[in-house]
Amino acid sequence: MVTKSSLQKNLVYTALLILLSRVLGLYQDQLLIHFFAGATAASDAFLTAFRIPNMLRNIFSEGLLTAALIPVIVQFLQTNQRDRALRLLTFFFFITIFIFSLLWVYVWYFPASIIKLFAPGLDTLRLNYATYFLPAMFGFVFFLASSEILSAGLRSINHFFIPALGPSLYTATIIIALLLAKKFSWQSYTLAWMVTLGGFVKFLARYSAFRYFSLSLLAPKFINTLADAKIVFLRTMPLLGGFGVTQTHIIVEGIVGSYLAIGEISILHCAWRLINVPQIMLRHTVNLVLLPYLSAFLLHSKLRMRFMFFEVIKLLVWLSMPLSLQFFLSAKNLSAIFYGSTATALVIAKSAIVLQVLSLGIVFHLLNQALTTTFYACKDTLSPSLINSCATLINASGSFLGLRLFGLPGIPLATVFSIIITAPVLLIVLWQKHNIYIPIAKLMKFCAASFLQILLFLFLKIFLQYFFLTTTNWWLLGCYPFIFLTKRWFGIRFFLL
């Protein structure tokens, strides 16, 4: 049943579970940096090697296939065609296993060719390290890609707990491995195998939930299932032209970042991880929960879908504006806490600048995810793909130019610029093509009220800092309680709260 209460419940606990996974992921990266004794050639190589399977998992399963698959599965379930939905899931489950099995075999024998493709600028030392790590950790994408198909089935029946818990299970496995590696002086190659083990744990949890909810892998009816699969493939194909700037920055920054000096790949990676703690919590919550719900709303009432879409946009803007401010003002403190004693003042300063640049794109990053998800709910994968393809070209060319002009900060600067210009284009096309739009006057009024809330908070923060004679930025932690408690003063109301 598609109800407000079920949507609220799923949004809240999905967000909390993803936040848990992000916090664990941050702790994992801290342990990893300490394991490799700071931002070094070995840490650069390990993160470069890991980026490849993680990117493939995002693109081919979580990003591409499920975006086209979930609306079709929801439609079948809503029209009492459960067996048809399960047969389609089974088809893609085994197709995914087959494709990634072949990829793993290729990577095992020719790892250097893959690394040179995605990180052509690595020097010999880092290339040798990465070639050493990649075959062992590539099993990660084998297990996670197949588990994302199971996750698509769970999300289609409005079960989000295990899909949202999966990243935490994976990260907890890596954390345990890092702690054991430190205690027993394991080699870094063993740690690479633990990445694959983490993927298996995540797969096992999702398969268990899949069976618990009486879902099963049914033998496909060859002709009928192929016809259904053709529909999904046709909707997936446009996405091959543009994976979305939220995912392709991984490819772009991997290629361009491989030309950075030793240690700067790790700095760039860690800055992304810091800002992704809250950002991915919101983005993945939108991606996990909003797509099946909007797909169901569209089947019943487009007016209801339009209303819910606007409420989600309002909530994301309201949450992300103070988030951007907090990261911009606290960048240096956050970087110093993250690196601890393993980093020099120069490393912390570089990390803080990258973090400040990334903070400028938080609002638009989240808006792009909501807008793209809405396109997918409308079963339109072509429009956002074309738009994101153009943004990706701007991102790629801007990253190379930014690297030459500004060095390390030029790479995230190009990504942020491409994210910002994508949002209005997505919004206009969504309105023109699907008649789903945001009342601009209402949104501007809402943004102005939210901005006034933040200004009032900053005024109080400066006053209290002066009163208590302190310059710490920890006062910023009070921003969310403040804006929540004062939202009625500024006429800010949400259907979802």
How far is residue 485 CA from its own chain's centroid? 29
Count how many residues are written for the chain.
497
Contact between 231 and 72 (Cβ < 8 Å): yes
Tell me the residue type at 10: N
Query: What region, left, alpha or beta, does residue 492 occupy, with left being phi > 0 and alpha being psi -120 to 50 degrees?
Result: beta
Cα separation, 380 vs 397, whole angstroms: 27
> Which residues, other chains included, contact 260 with Cβ-Cβ below 8 Å and sequence gap of 6+?
121, 268, 403, 408
**Going residue by residue through the chain (497 aa), what tens digit of pLDDT does each one get?**
455 566 666 667 676 777 777 778 778 888 887 787 666 788 888 888 888 887 776 666 555 567 678 888 888 888 888 888 888 888 888 888 898 899 999 999 999 999 988 888 888 888 898 999 999 999 888 888 888 888 888 888 877 778 778 778 888 888 998 898 888 888 888 888 988 998 899 899 989 988 888 788 777 677 778 888 888 887 776 655 545 444 555 666 677 777 887 878 778 877 887 887 777 777 666 666 666 667 677 777 778 778 888 888 888 888 888 888 888 988 888 888 777 776 788 888 998 999 999 999 989 988 888 888 888 778 787 888 788 878 888 888 888 898 888 888 998 899 899 889 999 999 999 999 988 888 888 889 988 999 899 888 888 877 777 776 555 555 566 787 888 888 888 888 876 65
Contact between 338 and 470 (Cβ < 8 Å): no
pTM over 0.95: no
Cα separation, 271 vs 355, whole angstroms: 5
Instruction: Write a three-state SS string for 59-81.
Output: HHHHHCHHHHHHHHHHHHHHCCC
Closest Cα partner for 373 from 95, 190, 87, 155? 155
Tell me the residue type at 65: L
Q: Where are the alpha helices (DSSP H) in 407-439?
A: 410-434
The H-or-E segment that residue 241 falls in is: none
The pLDDT tens digits for 75-117 are 888 888 888 888 888 888 888 889 889 999 999 999 999 998 8
Cα separation, 16 vs 25, whole angstroms: 14
